[in-house]
């Protein structure tokens, strides 16, 4: 009843025209894959004189529900904030206020981090499009010629099942999850040096914290506060809650952005996106060498699978695994993302997790052999990398005129993988220990 009265009385003071919603808002690692995915089925991959003989892929789980702490925050705390906004005299139009007033959280704590129905669609569509690209290689499923494995989490396992449904349209054989943590597709969970010196190191968040109190962010706080008609100024925690709700509400929709994203302008969303990228650059990206090099187990698995010409290898993991592998490969590398570089980096920066690590983010390597040849050397075998279904040059390996060969890829990333030496702590560090994948 209170919400109905607010909607009847307060919107009369709001302007008649609604501010246009942000077009295709990108929100870092919570970006829904539908904003990046190709439309329809792609044509088959055709390279003159070549045939696909193997494919290896690492796939992040699809759109999910928030973490348990985030679900709690999106309950009572968010409801109080929403009531304040509905009671305010800001610039929201009648339609936006009505949509915000009718919005409801439809998630229980027991669903924390489970795959959302939109994630199911993302993964099934991804499988269908990979099948369309490689119909001869993936046209039929034969047990023993494919390896499929997920981490021991509901969101990763369910993502793999829906991907396989789109890819093969039939049940397939799965490798059991490796417990307690998969040493290949979630190796960072088994890396004490990374956990202690990066993930739990307060210095890893120093640039993000500095950006949070910058004039750029202060301007966003002032502008959003004024637009939603609040007093006093939104705290950084309250602004973050509005942004996180925008993220998930956007991802859970089949189309459109929703009322929470309508609280922000495109520029404000880019500022908040950059804040998140500062965190991921320093925690999961190339800022600290140990973060990338501990992914050598994934690189070794990739090279072994391609060398054996295994028809298909598909792993389902998390943003932490995908971003660290991309850092190892040199994809998305920057001279250095800092709190002071927002204006110079811009939206065309290479380390933009909205484009390299969204929900259902993926990287596939396709091995091409000379057509009709029963055997060929690694110098003759070409490798094509797809990043989120876009053919992407492997940094340092080939280019427009020179293909990336399996031999060249091995020279770049086939060195000894001394994981234990990489991840060993010289002495016990109290910061070491289990860590969650992300805050939300």
User: Can you give the length of the chain in residues?
Assistant: 440
Mean pLDDT over the full length of the chain: 92
**How high is the pLDDT of residue 14?**
40
Which one, of 25, 109, 114, lies nearest residue 61 by Cα? Answer: 114
Region 386-411: what's the mean pLDDT? 93
Region 220-243: what's the mean pLDDT? 97
Q: Quick one: pLDDT band at residue 435, thresholds 50, 70, 90?
A: low
- Domain edges within the chain: 2-423
Q: Quick one: pLDDT band at residue 9, thresholds 50, 70, 90?
A: very low
**How high is the pLDDT of residue 389?**
98
pLDDT digits (tens, 9 = 90+) for 25-83: 999 999 999 999 999 999 999 999 999 999 999 999 999 999 999 999 999 899 999 99
**How high is the pLDDT of residue 16?**
54
Q: Quick one: pLDDT band at residue 437, thresholds 50, 70, 90?
A: low
The phi, psi pair for 23, rounded to 5°, reads -75, 125
Region 283-303: what's the mean pLDDT? 97
**CB burial string 348-374: b at 16+ within 10 A, e below:** ebebbbbbbbbbbbbbbbbbbbbeeee
State which fold the 2-423 domain adopts.
Answer: Rossmann fold (3.40.50)
State the alpha helices, DSSP H only, in 214-265.
215-228, 236-251
Res. 133: pLDDT tops 70? yes
């Amino acid at each position: 009843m209170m919400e109905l009265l607010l909607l009847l009385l307060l919107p009369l003071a709001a302007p008649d025209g609604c501010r246009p919603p942000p077009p295709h808002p990108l929100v870092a690692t919570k970006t829904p894959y539908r904003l990046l995915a190709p439309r329809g089925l792609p044509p088959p991959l055709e390279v003159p004189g070549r045939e696909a003989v193997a494919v290896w892929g690492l796939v992040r789980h699809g759109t999910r529900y928030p973490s348990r702490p985030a679900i709690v925050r999106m309950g009572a705390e968010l409801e109080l904030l929403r009531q304040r906004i509905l009671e305010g005299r800001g610039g929201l139009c009648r339609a936006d206020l009505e949509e915000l007033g009718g919005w409801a959280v439809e998630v229980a704590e027991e669903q924390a981090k489970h795959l959302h129905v939109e994630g199911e669609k993302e993964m099934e569509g991804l499988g269908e499009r990979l099948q369309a690209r490689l119909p001869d290689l993936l046209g039929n499923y034969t047990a023993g010629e494919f390896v499929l494995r997920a981490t021991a989490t509901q969101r990763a396992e369910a993502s793999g099942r829906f991907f396989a449904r789109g890819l093969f349209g039939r049940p397939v054989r799965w490798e059991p999850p490796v417990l307690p943590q998969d040493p290949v597709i979630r190796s960072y969970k088994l890396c004490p040096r990374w956990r202690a010196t990066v993930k739990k190191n307060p210095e890893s968040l120093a640039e993000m914290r500095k950006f949070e109190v910058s004039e750029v962010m202060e301007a966003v706080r002032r502008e959003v506060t004024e637009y939603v008609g609040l007093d006093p100024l939104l705290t950084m925690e309250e602004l973050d809650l509005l942004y996180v709700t925008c993220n998930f509400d956007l991802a859970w929709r089949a189309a459109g952005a929703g009322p929470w994203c309508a609280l922000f302008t495109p520029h404000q969303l880019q500022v908040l996106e950059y804040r998140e990228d500062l965190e991921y650059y320093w925690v999961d990206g190339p800022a600290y060498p140990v973060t990338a090099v501990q992914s050598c187990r994934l690189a070794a698995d990739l090279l072994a699978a391609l060398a054996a010409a295994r028809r298909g290898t598909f792993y389902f993991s998390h943003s932490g695994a995908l971003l660290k592998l991309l850092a190892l490969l040199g994809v998305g590398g920057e001279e250095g993302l800092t709190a002071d570089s927002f204006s110079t980096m811009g939206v065309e920066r290479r380390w933009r997790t909205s484009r390299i690590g969204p929900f259902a983010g993926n990287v596939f390597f396709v091995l091409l052999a000379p057509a009709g040849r029963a055997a060929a050397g690694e110098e003759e075998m070409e490798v094509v990398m797809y990043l989120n279904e876009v053919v992407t040059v492997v940094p340092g390996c080939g280019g427009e005129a020179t293909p990336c060969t399996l031999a060249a890829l091995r020279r770049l990333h086939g060195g000894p993988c001394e994981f234990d030496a990489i991840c060993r702590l010289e002495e016990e560090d109290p910061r070491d220990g289990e860590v969650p994948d992300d805050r939300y």
